[in-house]
Each structure stands twice: as C-alpha cells, then as structure tokens.
Structure 1
Amino acid sequence: MGRRAAIDRGELARLVAEGWSVREMAAHFGVSESGVLQAKRAAGLVKPTLDHGRAVPWKVSREHIQSGPATNLRNLSAAAQGKPPASERLNTALRWAQRLVDAGLDVAYDPVAGFREVPVGAGRSHVAAVLAEAREALEAG
C-alpha cells in the first residue's frame, strides 16, 4: 500500500485563487480529482452549498423538481440562507408565497400528482414559515 500524496495547503490555496480546475490541480499534485476535492474541503476552500431540505422537505420526483412551487421554495430558502437569487426570481417567489399566505393556503406534495395548493391545516403553514425565514434574512442583510 502506497503513501498518500501530500498536498501543500498553501500551494492549493494559491492554485484555487488563480482559478485552476480540479483536474489541473490533480495532475499537478499527482493525485485523483477526489483527492483534490477532499483537500479543498479540509482546507476550507470549498464554498458552502445551500441546503434546501427545510424548504423542500419532500423527496421530489425528477419531473416536479423544476415546477413553480419547488423553484419558489428553493429561491426563498436561498434568501433565508443569505444567498438570494436574482431579484426577478426572488420577487416572483415572494409574491407567490405571500399570495398563498394571504389566501390561507399552503402547499402539499405527492410524487405522482406533484405540488398542489391546499388550505392551511392545523398548525403553521409551511409556506408561511419559509417566507418568514426569507423575509427575516432579507431585512437583516
């Protein structure tokens, strides 16, 4: 079993700043692309990804992933996490969510039928909660 190739963190940071691709860095250091990605994560050089799991808590089928409700919920989630989408997309999501909240509606998801608007059940509306988080982050930012 061979020794793990060492990736100098300082040099890795310099190459990332210069815009080198993962493939180029792998060849430069003599490691796999996966090794470069692991080194970047360990060195804190990977931009954090957004997690939309709270805004879209369902296992959404491929045919519904780009639907209006899924897209609007992801855009509100991005805003809540401090990375709002382009203003047109954000405004569309805000208007959509506010329309549902004002009408006493929420969304439900079914893997076969997709998203549908439903009356708010017992407790708090999912859309209202996602909208509140987005508005709070936008006002704080």
Structure 2
Amino acid sequence: MTIHMVKLCVGAEDIEDLENWQARLMKQGREPFHHTRMMPKQKDQLMDGGSIYWVIKGAIRVRQRIVDVRQIAGEEHSMCELVFDPNLVRTYAKRKKAFQGWRYLKPADAPRDLTSGEAAVNIPPDLDAALKQAGVW
C-alpha cells in the first residue's frame, strides 16, 4: 500500500525557490534529491507510488514523486538519500505546523493536486484556507 512523506522545505519562501534549488542540482548533472539522517522503515510503501509533500511557509503546497530511496555513506554514519521526479505538482494548500525531520502521510490525508488551470493561480495559504472555510473554494 502506498504511503507518502511530508517534510518542511526549510529556507524556501515559495515554490519557485524549490524549483530554483532543484534546477541548480540538475545543472550539475544530479537528479533532485534530499539527504536525511533516518532511513524510512516503510521504504517499500514509499517506492509504491509515494510522493514527498513539501511544506512551504506553513502549508503543504507542492509534491514530488519519490523515485528512489538510497542508503549512502556519510562522514560519521550512513544517511538516506531521497531521489525525486523533477516534476513539481502543485497541491491545494493544507496548513501544517512546524515539526522536525519528516513524517509519513497517509494518502487519505494528502491534499489533492491542483488542475493545470488551478495551478496558475498562486493564492497565499491563509487566503486559500479562508476561502475553503467559507465554502467558496
């Protein structure tokens, strides 16, 4: 059964910051990746169509499909390298409080993807939440 991951996109002000960071990696001949200290125990479920959902400025805003989970040697201990599909898929904003590391995210709890027309509108998370609460969005 598929499971997802949610992680803070530390230092990113918006989705474009994430795009730029990953574009720099790809110019160096690397696929988009992120290193984390802990190896996910549910690696097989992540590899079964799972995505990483990035939290930017207090809300899940975008996701990327996870294409590989590798164990790599670090200076003092081994690390986990998460490798992503370069395609960023914008999602409906979903508020998320700050946390350390990463968390698993059940598919039922993941925000749905925006359609191409919806993705063209970049609404701030607070306004998006208010519109949803009012039943307008």
Asked if Structure 1 and Structure 2 have the same fold, meaning a TM-score greater than 0.5 normalized by the shorter chain, the answer is no
Of Structure 1 and Structure 2, the greater strand share is in 2
TM-score range, shorter-chain basis? under 0.3
Q: Which has the higher contact order (CA 8 A, sep 6+)?
A: 2
Structure of larger gyration radius? 1
What TM-score does the superposition give when structure 2 sets the normalisation length? 0.24
